[in-house]
Structure 1
Amino acid sequence: MSESLSNSITLSFFIEEPDGILYAQYAPAEAAVPPDLSSLENALQVSEHAGCYIDNSALLAFVKLCRDSKETQKLQIGQRKDAEFILSLADDLLSASLTLIPAVGGKPVGTAVNDALREQGIIHGILHKELDAALAAGRCENLLIAQGDAPRQGVAGRLEPLFGAHKSEVTQRDELAVIKFRELSHLLLVHVGDELMRRIPPVQGKFGMNIRGQVILAKPLPDMAFGANLQGAAPSATNPDLLMATNAGQPVVVDDGVIVNPVLQVPDVDLSTGNISFEGTIHVEGDIKAGMILNVTGDVIVNGLVEAADIIAGGNVAVKGGIIGLAERKPGTQSLSGTTSRIKCGGSVQALFAENAHVEAGDSIRLEQNARQCELIARKEITVGKPGSSVGNILGGKTQAALMISAVSLGSAAGIRTQIQVGFDPYRDAQIHDNQYQIGRKAAELDQLIKLQAFFMTHPEKAAGGIGEKVEAKRLHLLEELDALEKELDELEAEQELIDKASVKIIKKIHEGTEIQIGRHKWQVKEDSGPGNYQIHDGHIAII
């Protein structure tokens, strides 16, 4: 206990160890005047405890105790506090920060901070200038005093497509030139010797070091390489980082390079060619005649007309002329006959017009002029008529799209029944159902494997000979497949949000006899209506 006296006898201050508690003590004496707040504070200021933390409320309480007391009074009025510090290390050990709490009547930190740095093994990236300044000042808060070196991530290698960067010049008189095809359907074709893709190798990153001097490895970047068997393409003989076209066709980017779909050119599709099944893109310089069947994995480009033929394409279908089917109907129905023109593709369909045709597109359908008595189905949009044109009428038949149908006008003054439907995807529900079925089937298979592994735990001899390893590999493979299926299901269900915003956009007029359905809402048009963008609003179809 250390003690200091004031007024010789009556008032004294002392510290009680080891906690450094500061007390004031008053011993009444004859003719002594009890201390008031001012005299108490003055006595503290001239005492050896002036630098301690003082509780002002405790001083007031002590003055009240002493005012009429006949006995010795003692009360805690403060505390001597040594300097403190907090050393914080980041979870990744790439930095350390310091908080200094200054002493109040107590001891400074001295060498304790440097000792703590050594104890924590901090040897790299110490900011000595900042640390010394903080120690001299005696206070700081979350001050950065050590900084490691984060690893510098490299630049991933990539395969960079080159086709389309340089277009070949074509003369006006060359009617079979590539540019003619591009103008028709926005296809890109390449020739033998064209540059397709450049391989750019990765630049590996730089290692780092944490504040404990430990090396932090940069994430290794895999090298990129062209595939060994790319259809219609191969690395250049003089530059292995350059992929060249080895035949003419349509380039398609794949994971490990580019493949070139060969393009088949025919004057017409008729009895002289027979039905055609082809892996690639086909260019028909003339017409596709009635009764013919065309099945290709790529695109179909037709310079002339498509009559009552069947076309199945994995890509786009572009018809410079129109699509003309037979006007016959199935007896007693509004459906098209089995001998009409039928087109189904995975991409988009473009044509001048369509009559008595069944057209399905995995993307969109675009007709420059009219659609008459057709069945049109698109997963995204259907547009009939060019911007600014007065031609673009959908008359009769049934037109269905998931997101939007746009036309200059619908129906006719004669009141011919014309069905328009948006806000549904004819393929999505089937995909979701199939996806859910696959998830259930694979989950059941996974459950059987887990039960088998549990059996192996109690009968390890049954897992001998590599059987256990094969079961585990199969289990991991099933988990990956389930994860992919669940992600695909989430994406399919998210598409419904777009479908909920479906609309019918009309430039001029909707005639009586038209039926518009948006989602589950139907509108039988009883009298001609004007232009507008029709959507669901407050539970009914309205112009938005």
Structure 2
Amino acid sequence: MRKVILYFDPAAPAILVKKTTESGEVKVVLSSKHNFVSENEIVARVVDVKSEEEISTHIDEGYSYHHIRDYFNFSTGSGVYFDERTKSYKSSYYGFVVIKDSKISLISPLVLSKDKIRAYYNILPTRFGNLPTYNEIVEILHAEKVVSIVTGEKFNKQMAAIDKENPHLTRVLVAEGRDPVNGFDEYFEPLLSFEKQAGRILADGRMDYKEVGSIIQVQKNQEILQAIPGVKSEDGYDIFGEKVPAVREDKGGLKKGENLLQSGFDPSIYVSAIDGCISIDNNTVNVLPVAVINGDVGLDSGNISFNGTVHVTGSVLPGFKVQADSDIIVDKDVEDAQLTAGGDITVKLGVVGKEAVKLVAKGNITAKFMQNVKVEAGKSVIVDDSIINCDIVCYDKISVKGKAGKIIGGKVAALNEIKAHTVGTQTETLTSLTVGRNFILESEITKKRTEVIMVKERVEEINTTIKMQFGEEIFKNPKEYIKILPALKKKNCLLLLNDLGTANASLKKLIEEAKVIEEKMKFDKEPVIIVTNKIYPGVVVNVKKSVKKIDHIIDNVKFYEDQLDKSVRFVAAT
């Protein structure tokens, strides 16, 4: 009978195969450790025997692992040849032997990286502990037209790390080209967070979703960006000597915009040239003196607070706040919101509220119309169309400048002038107009006069105490009088005189401060109220502290205070 002895695992289809573990995980594993052979190792033999027992006598020495098959027609493929001398099938070089479609052949352990820049050999010591030599590898690589072969020193160093006593599959680098250097332009990374917050946690643990910090304020010389230097592109080459082109990468980083300067200590660090806020437009970081809110101030932006000027391109929605150390500009409406500015407030459309709306500015406040609004302006309030049911205090002028501009209802007070086309209504809506009152200075002077009275009383109290204890004579010549006093009385007298001097000095200072305030309360020009069309009954006119209730319609009128009788008078406005 004829048999085939296979010195490898015929079930192994490749060096590495996928295997599913008991847990369901798929792993790539070595298919068989018995299939690695070196040059001229026997891989198979055909024998003629009379019995099964005789087969063992034909097993080659040292080949403990084998499979016996009934004879079948097979052929040899790449890497396997028939040796006439030994009547056996042998390997031509180091490799992994397989049988497929009745053909015995070697699989090359050579593995190329996807980009062909590196090549590796999967190596496992054979049954005899044999490993491929450097020259053998070089010969095979040359046959594959590989030109970028590693040096013998580098190859042998890797091979020396293989433990023949404890063999396992090792991947050895045998060829290496050069990686391309992908270039990119200089870009910037932030040195502070540009992200909005979800909100602010309040003391009671609740979240205020209106405080999202959408305005990122920065100070002059604050570090903003760090430059990442650009890299020049350099082509590489693969193991076959072919060019591997470099690519120009887009890192998607930030770009440097306005008002950013290199720091003096690190050229890669960029600092803010001004006090301002961060603005990012098309991935370009700018520091701007004006905080621009594109759209409405609402849930997306949250409340706004900035140490410069704020420009809102939309509206300020109900329940939200805008605070600016400089100006506030709103391109649309303000509805039941609060605005506070260190400079001017400009609302290009209207301001409408219920109870929450309030505008406070140290400068001018301008709007198309106002309804149910509380207003405090350090300078003037200028409105195009109408002021309806508003509570306004300003320290220069109130002007409703439209041809049909009107003031209806509410309390409107200006330091120097109020001017409108129409005031009040035919239905006699209660409306209060006041000029010539500086409520801040009046409060200050009242407080100061109260302090003067208190200090005067203290002076009188000390004077009375001194007279009772030492008599009137002490005030004629205090120094001589004190000399003749006993020590204890002298001490008490000096303390009282010192208190009196301190109180008199305080009194003098308070009187001078009161005079300064009184001077500020004087007017360069007498305050007036001008109504160019009609003022209706129901309107109360206050000029300084003089009052006049309008009881009939008056046309084209200017109200002022008569300096003699301190009453409200009026004349034609023009």
Q: Whose radius of gyration is greater, 1 or 2?
A: 2
Tell me, yes or no, whether TM beats 0.5. no
Higher strand share: 2
TM-score interval for Structure 1 and Structure 2 normalised by the shorter chain? 0.3 to 0.5
Q: TM-score, normalised by structure 1?
A: 0.41
